[in-house]
Structure 1
Amino acid sequence: MEQLNFSLSSEHAALTEHDMICGVVGSGNLEVLVSPIGHHETCEISVNTSATGFKNVWYAVLTEFCNRHQVGGLRFQLNDMGATPAVVSLRLSQAVAMLKDGEHA
């Protein structure tokens, strides 16, 4: 297992004041836990992954996500069991859509 931590710039969206969960941990899948944080100009993302040595790939995927969505003020905890970059991007976009729709776990 490898744990990665990123603090990325992103515009503030104020999408939630509650914790929520999206996805499941399983073969080739990804669980996303989202919670609000106090500083609104950054997005904090921690990744627990079974695939080691891919920090640069994670950084690229997560930077693109933060640039595409206004997620400043949110903390994402990702629990990964070998998801591809496309699945990571999809699951993160799904979490943002759930937040915008007001769905909370």
Structure 2
Amino acid sequence: MEQITLSFPATRTVSGHSLAGVVGSGDMEVLFTADEGETLVVDIITSVDNSQARWQALFERLILTGELPAGRMQIHDFGATPGVARIRIEQVFEEVSHA
């Protein structure tokens, strides 16, 4: 198991919290709690060792396609593909955008 913490500048604020996915389902779980800060902090627990570069690249692609909200995100990844990871992350962002 590897633990990774990443930080990115947030470009928007939202409110509330959101959950997407279920760890027990065999892919991943993403929890997001909004705050009034200027940073998105992402804590990742993954079963895939040496994956920090993959996660960094995923969030850099998300920055290019949209705005990141301020808050704290927890990701429990148990081998999900990058496509599934992106879907789960976008799901929590979408949910808090409508809270």
What TM-score bracket applies, with the shorter chain setting the length? 0.7 to 0.9
Structure 2: runs of 5+ lacking an equivalent: none
Shift of 1:6: 0.4
Structure 1: runs of 5+ lacking an equivalent: none
Distance in 1 separating the partners of 2:30 and 2:57? 18
The code of the aligned residue for 1:22 comes to A
Q: 1:23 aligns with which of 11, 21, 24?
A: 21
Distance in 1 separating the partners of 2:44 and 2:19? 14
Change (3 A) 1:28 1:64: farther
Shift of 1:3: 0.4
Distance in 1 separating the partners of 2:23 and 2:92? 15
1:6 equivalent to 2:13? Answer no
Structure 1 stretches of 4+ with a deviation exceeding 3 A read none
Matches within 5 A, 1:38-77: 38-40=36-38, 42-77=39-74
- Higher normalized helix content (fraction of residues): 2
Using the aligned pairs only, state the percent identity: 28
Change (3 A) 1:98 1:19: closer
- CA deviations over 1:11-70 (Å, ceiling 9, x no partner): 12x221x23211111354111111123422x21111000111111111100222234332
